Structure 1
Amino acid sequence: MKKITIAIDGFSSTGKSTLAKQLAKHLEYVYVDTGAMYRAITFFAMQNGYISIDFFDKETLINSLPFIKLHFEYNAALGFAEMYLNDISIENEIRTLEVSSFVSLVAEVSEVRAKLVEQQQEMGKGKGIVMDGRDIGTVVFPDAELKIFMTASPETRAHRRYDELKAKGADVSFEDVFNNVADRDYIDTHRDDSPLRKADDAIEIDNSYLTREEQFNAVLEMVNEVVNS
């Protein structure tokens, strides 16, 4: 059976990673969470004092990029690959609301995007890959055989993110989560370099009222159509 490249783009908290993981596991494809890569660099910037609420030293972060080593390592107990920064697992650390509040600003930096896009394209050379993010179908893999663009109402996405954070024991308010979702939407869609947008040939899925199973089955049908065409 021929292998294809599946590009999944969309707004924050639309379940892109969940869908991508489901597809990769079912198809026995490689899964790459590009959002985790941007979060890792954001975490690095936070750790080193390059970014805070009212400060962002872009130049120092850019100069530090050659010393940032990222890789994914499969964790059999978890059932997915964890993000490693300079050989240290930071999977839990990058999923906080604090990292979420800065990641879109870091992702705006052209030098950061260039570094990560190059790595992502290298990962996908052999096809048989599912990659999710903000610019996969438009920049990273413009020739992907299947492109999905995921969306849902801001309220729905904020509730999902809030529930996820509370389940992990985070002390957050729904208002803060909703504002974070709205802020990220604006930054992601208005940045100069590779803004979030639906590729012309992408299939849009509004999953505000879809279950994970319904969504997975619908996209799996799309995959089978492409593979068998």
Structure 2
Amino acid sequence: MIIAIDGPAASGKGTLARRLAERYRLKHLDSGVLYRAVAQRMIDLGLDLADPAAAAKAAREIDPARFDDPALRSRRTGEGASIVSAVPEVRAALLDFQRRFAAEPPGAVIDGRDIGTVICPDADVKLFVIASPEERARRRALELTRAGEPVDEAAILLDIRARDERDMNRATAPLKPAEDAIRIDTTTLDADAAFDAAVSIIERRMAERPAGADAALRANA
């Protein structure tokens, strides 16, 4: 069972993905961490984030053991991730990693920006999570405040709009919903309401599948 969740920054897709993975006892991968790891490695080495060759090399050398590094969650690293994720060579280097992760039993919940369209186009369930830029800026500001970082919500909003523009208009794997993805707008939803909406969608999809196809998943839920 593969659940693909796409959406822009701070839309709530990461929190939702973690909760769904726990409910259905599936593995979880935040694909954004991969790009943050690439950006962080380049920052650590003092490399130009806009250098495609250096970015591709960093992508081939990322260390999964560092995915929990708090530095990956900094605003600077997030901005860097948006830059390196637009490099085709970086996306190609990380494609196999993500597909292998998804293919391992019992399945996975993966969130990102091109999961349902490129990484797992045959995913069993595809969700596209959105929220207004203003609400996403508010959430990111709150997250940074809790992390003890200085906050300028107006600047965060500008950054979110700029990232959306890059993500939606890049030549390789732009951010867009898969044709068969179901949208969830979390602008006015808290985490519990978004989770309930997603579970309802997944359960409905499971009910539409052939008898026995999701027996293992139902046993885990």
Give the alignment's TM-score, normalised by structure 1: 0.86
Give the equivalent residue in structure 2 for 1:75. Answer: none
Secondary structure of the residue aligned to 1:210 is coil
Match of 1:7, SS state, is: strand
Q: Which has a greater percent of strand?
A: 1
Q: Distance in 1 between matches of 2:58 and 2:40?
A: 13
Q: Is residue 201 of structure 1 aligned with residue 180 of structure 2?
A: yes
Q: Could you tell me whether the CA contact under 8 Å between 1:50 and 1:58 is conserved in 2?
A: no
Match of 1:38 in 2: 35
Q: Is the 8 A contact 2:42 2:58 kept in 1?
A: no
What's the Cα RMSD here?
Answer: 1.4
Q: Assess if the C-alpha contact under 8 Å between 1:42 and 1:102 holds in 2.
A: yes
Please identify runs of 4+ aligned residues in structure 1 that moved more than 4 A: none
Q: How many residues align?
A: 207
How far off its partner does 1:185 sit? Answer: 0.3
Once residues 134 and 61 of structure 1 are traced to their aligned partners in structure 2, the CA distance between those partners, rounded to angstroms, is 19
Alignment of 1:176 with 2:155, yes or no, is: yes
**For the Cα contact (< 8 Å) 2:41–2:58, is it kept in 1?**
no
Percent identity over the alignment is 34
Please identify which structure carries the higher helix content.
Answer: 2
The alpha-carbon deviation at position 64 of structure 1 amounts to: 4.4
Matched, 1:62 2:44: no
The answer to whether the 8 Å contact 1:97/1:177 transfers is no
Amino acid at match of 1:169: G
Output the CA distance in 2 between the equivalents of 1:63 and 1:70: 12
Question: Contact 1:37 / 1:70 at 8 angstroms: preserved in 2?
Answer: no
Cα deviation, residue 103, structure 1: 1.2
TM normalised by structure 2 equals 0.89
Deviations 1:182-217 (A, max 9, x none): 111000001000000011100011110011111101
Gaps of 5+ in 1: 72-83
Tell whether 2:83 aligns with 1:105: yes
1:65-85 Cα distance to aligned partner (Å, 9 max, x none): 44x1332xxxxxxxxxxxx34
User: Equivalences for 1:112-151 in 2 at 5 Å?
Assistant: 112-125=90-103, 126-151=105-130
Letter in 2 for 1:132: D
CA-CA distance at 1:106 after TM superposition: 0.2
Deviations 1:43-68 (A, max 9, x none): 0111111136xxx32223324444x1
